[in-house]
Copies of this chain bind each other. A is one copy, B any other.
Amino acid sequence: MHRTHTCGELRLSDLGKTVTLSGWVQKSRDLGGMTFIDVRDRYGVTQLAFNVDDDQTLRAKALDLGREYVIKVTGTVIERSSKNNKIATGEIEIKVSELDILNASALPPFTIEDETDGGDDIRMKFRYLDLRRNPVRENLILRHKMSQEIRRYLDGENFLEVETPVLIKSTPEGARDFVVPSRMNPGEFYALPQSPQTFKQLLMVSGFDRYFQIVKCFRDEDLRADRQPEFTQIDCEMAFVEQEDILNMFEGLTKHLFKTVKGVDLGEVPRMTYDDAMRLYGSDKPDTRFGMQFVELNDVAKGHDFPVFEQAELVIGINAKNCASYTRKQLDALTDFVKRPQIGATGIVYARHNEDGSIKSSVDKFYDATTLDAWSKAFHSEPGDLLLIMAGPTDKVRKQLNELRLEVAGQLGLRDKNTFSPLWVIDFPLLEWDEESARYHAMHHPFTSPKPEDIHLLESNPGDVRANAYDLVINGVEVGGGSIRIHDRDLQSNMFKHLGFSPEEAQKQFGFLMEAFTYGAPPHGGLAFGLDRLVSIFAGLDSIRDVIAFPKNNSGRDVMIDAPSSIAPAQLKELTLEVKA
């Protein structure tokens, strides 16, 4: 037998017991008469003690143990003379009588401790060693717990988990598909699903009513820090529902998760329309852990011959509370921030609300005290506040100010990882205009239903049609999104037309779905959470990478196993494929 207890289990109440433990050597200390070894497993650390007066062979063996050796020891639980209250087993130690080396270990390329000396690259290559570190393992334990709770909740609500296929059909809409050549059907390809969207809708047509699946999805996109080629969705769909039913159900799930996994009472999730989110935060995923809502200033900023404001479509700002003391250097840094190419603003106008009540702006030349007072009123500013103002085309300046708002809030410590501020963003536009392809794209996807009261606008003002679509945002991160779907063949067909599909293309790609709608499709809708992102928020992490056991790097490579890689010419030949350099 390899163990009677884990390394996190023994307490004072176990004194005198003969136990066997197995685990990894965390560290060893030789203190004159005594040798101490910390042995570690998934559950904790236990101190092993070897006395100089006891078995010398045993102690010599213990002294030879290197870090990360796998050992098995048998011994007696005794009370520690100097207790360690930082660990659960800190009141006891094991007086060892037998020691087996189950496997030796070479010196690890980085230290296996909470704070490691290993850089990102080396830790990715030796991911299996990085996974030994407590913080990384804790992330995956958290992920397991959340997945279990999600399933428990949805099972309790009569959802059925149904597995949908991974080898499906490539579609031109949306992101790029990964494809899989079919040997049995030469020249043809499967695609890996970007989501099980059409299948879950077919399950609704089948009467499954309440479906979910925690499922891998795939997108062949150029990667960013928070994107992975394969990612996991909590994919859900319900029939015979309206938007309200879906929001309530998944608000319930979210609250349940926060309560059971983090012990946090989330409270009711507020709702905001897409238009308000853009107007107040310049983002469809506002971080509402703090206020600093946008204030529109056209009324008070225009008409004073300041050319930048005169020429701008929108003058808009935020009130950075208690930041009047920002130095010139800090303000310059903020200006540099918004001027970075990825933000692309021309500058910031600022105004300090001084302790004496006066307002001092960077554009005093154009604005007298009375006008600045009006600014102050618009911002509800108080002495000590700093007003940061930008101007430009409406959509653009809102996005720029959103970046500034997040930056300032970060500096002020307002983006606390232990505060959770959820928000439903609703009433998304159905379509968005894409300059490059000069046509409308579906903002969510082509199966999203327009709001019935807006359908009449589809022909005349397609850009004004709102969708029954919604996102769940937490702390400025979109963790989920969904919509009420179209369940009418003609409306779906019309939607494809508006998205630039020819009737033949629509039929070829989605004929099966439109045909399904002719056999009694119920009203339905759903939502998908990004599990990786949800876990990373629970874990207080910015990136999803560390909530994934074996992530890929930014080139889509698994550097540990060295994938992707070349394949044998015979494999290519069987697939009737040739690689053209």
Q: Which residues of A contact B (CB under 8 A)?
A: 1-3, 22-24, 40-43, 68-70, 72, 102-106, 108, 126-129, 131-132, 137, 140-141, 143-144, 147-148, 151, 155, 160-170, 172, 176-192, 198-199, 202-203, 205-209, 216, 218, 220, 222-223, 229-230, 232, 240-242, 487-488, 512, 516-523, 548-550, 552, 555-558, 560-568, 571, 574-581
Contacts and interface: CB of A to CB of B under 8 A. Distances in A.
A178 B168 CA distance: 13
Contacts of A162: 140, 143-144, 549
B183 A176 contact: yes
A199 B557 CA distance: 16
Contacts of A549: 162-164, 199, 203
Which 4 A-B pairs give the minimum distances between C-beta atoms? A105-B520, A131-B206, A169-B563, A2-B240
A68 B105 contact: no
B170 A144 contact: no
Contacts of A522: 22, 70, 102-103
Nearest to A520: B105
Nearest to A517: B103
A192 B216 CA distance: 12
30 contacts: A1-B242, A68-B519, A103-B520, A103-B521, A103-B522, A105-B518, A105-B519, A106-B519, A128-B206, A129-B519, A132-B206, A137-B206, A140-B160, A147-B161, A163-B232, A163-B549, A166-B230, A167-B230, A168-B558, A168-B563, A178-B180, A178-B190, A179-B571, A184-B220, A184-B223, A186-B579, A188-B566, A199-B549, A512-B562, A576-B579
A579 B581 contact: no
A557 B190 CA distance: 9
A566 B179 CA distance: 10
A42 B207 contact: yes
A127 B519 CA distance: 12
Nearest to A209: B42
Given A70-B521, A155-B148, A169-B558, A577 B579 contact: yes
B566 A208 contact: no
Contacts of A131: 203, 206-208
Nearest to A578: B578
Contacts of A144: 155, 160-162
Contacts of A579: 186-187, 576-578
Contacts of A102: 522-523
B512 A169 contact: no
A561 to B, nearest CB: 5
A425 to B, nearest CB: 24
Contacts of A108: 519
Nearest to A179: B567
Contacts of A199: 549-550
B571 A170 contact: yes
Contacts of A516: 128
Nearest to A199: B550
Contacts of A179: 180-181, 567, 571, 575
A243 to B, nearest CB: 12
A356 to B, nearest CB: 59
A490 to B, nearest CB: 11
A202 B128 contact: yes
Given A520-B69, A549-B162, A167 B3 contact: no
Nearest to A202: B128
A165 to B, nearest CB: 5
Given A162-B144, A207-B132, A187 B241 contact: no
A229 B167 contact: yes
A343 to B, nearest CB: 27
Nearest to A576: B580
Given A207-B131, A576-B579, A581-B576, A241 B2 contact: yes
B198 A561 contact: yes
Contacts of A242: 1-2
Contacts of A166: 166, 192, 216, 218, 230
Given A106-B518, A172-B568, A190-B564, 9 more contacts: A1-B242, A2-B242, A22-B522, A128-B202, A129-B206, A166-B230, A176-B183, A185-B555, A578-B579
A202 B517 CA distance: 46
Contact of A168 (B141, B241, B561): B561
Nearest to A126: B519
A197 to B, nearest CB: 12
A567 B143 CA distance: 36
A580 B581 contact: no
Nearest to A220: B183
Which of A22, A181, A232, A578 has the most chain B CB within a 10 Å cutoff?
Answer: A181
A571 B180 CA distance: 12
Given A70-B522, A189-B567, A240 B3 contact: yes
A562 B519 CA distance: 19
A564 B105 contact: no
Contacts of A216: 163, 166, 216
Given A522-B102, A555-B185, A575-B179, A165 B2 contact: no
Contacts of A205: 128
A512 B560 contact: yes
A83 to B, nearest CB: 25
